[in-house]
Amino acid sequence: MTVHAIIGGTGLTQLEGLTLSAALNLDTPFGAPSAAILRGNYAGAEVLFLARHGHPHRLAPHRINYRANLWALKEAGAEAVIAVNAVGGIHPDMGTGHFCVPHQLIDYTSGRVNTFYEDDTQAVEHIEFADPYDAGLRAALCAALAAEGCAYSSQGVYGCTQGPRLETAAEIARMQRDGCDLVGMTGMPETGLARELGLPYACLALVVNPAAGLSSTPISMADIEQALRAGMDQVRATLARVLAGA
């Protein structure tokens, strides 16, 4: 069976139901990952879990050591990665509580270290990245969402912004023109780094708010937290179905 790593984002700093066998505090050539990597059994499958923002949630999106996170997961034995992301909805279909398994992304970040090929210690490899997400993992996530009866979209374009502030209405309008369906802050460089390491990678995105300027009321952190609480049971059930069928 494939050993899956789950990277938990905002709202998923721990994986309830995980039968823990080890907590791995790994060092990497790029420093320490966000938190200990938890190895255990979930839905009858071996799984690795990492809290992207640390546990408790403390690391802003631009301060996450993405390279250490991905490197440590591979060192721990990960063979594929499912990333859970809380996002804002841009496309009209992407309302609060809706799930999306994106097929494309646009990177709007700046200043993040986005490659393992940062110095001259090894030959640079220009990875193929036309389709950033793994088709097999995406199909498994979509099948699990359908089986759970979740409202979801089987594709979408994820726009990754710098954060930690939310976007302006004009920025979201630009992203709409660019073709983005979702907005988040952690999709890159995580996705690209997984590709550099040869790790199949897919994103399970939960919409927790309408993006800036697309609602008649301001974005409220209380509303976001409520949407996260409401959606996490479905996230865990979806992950369990994917792992059980791996």
Is 195 labeled as ligand-binding?
Answer: no
DSSP 8-state secondary structure symbol assigned to residue 31: B
CB atoms within 10 A of CB 114: 18
Is 53 labeled as ligand-binding?
Answer: yes
Is 232 labeled as ligand-binding?
Answer: no
**Residue 104 CB burial class (10 angstroms; 0-12, 13-18, ≥19):** middle
Phi, psi for residue 102 in degrees, rounded to 5:
-65, 150
Q: Concatenated DSSP letters for 151-216?
A: -EES--EEEE---SSPPPHHHHHHHHHHT-SEEESSSTTHHHHHHHTT--EEEEEEEEEEPTTSSS
Is 85 labeled as ligand-binding?
Answer: no
DSSP 8-state secondary structure symbol assigned to residue 80: E
3-state secondary structure of 24: strand
Is 185 labeled as ligand-binding?
Answer: yes
Is 52 labeled as ligand-binding?
Answer: yes
The annotated binding site for substrate is made up of 185, 209-211
The annotated binding site is made up of 10, 52-53, 185-186, 209-211
The annotated binding site for phosphate is made up of 10, 52-53, 186
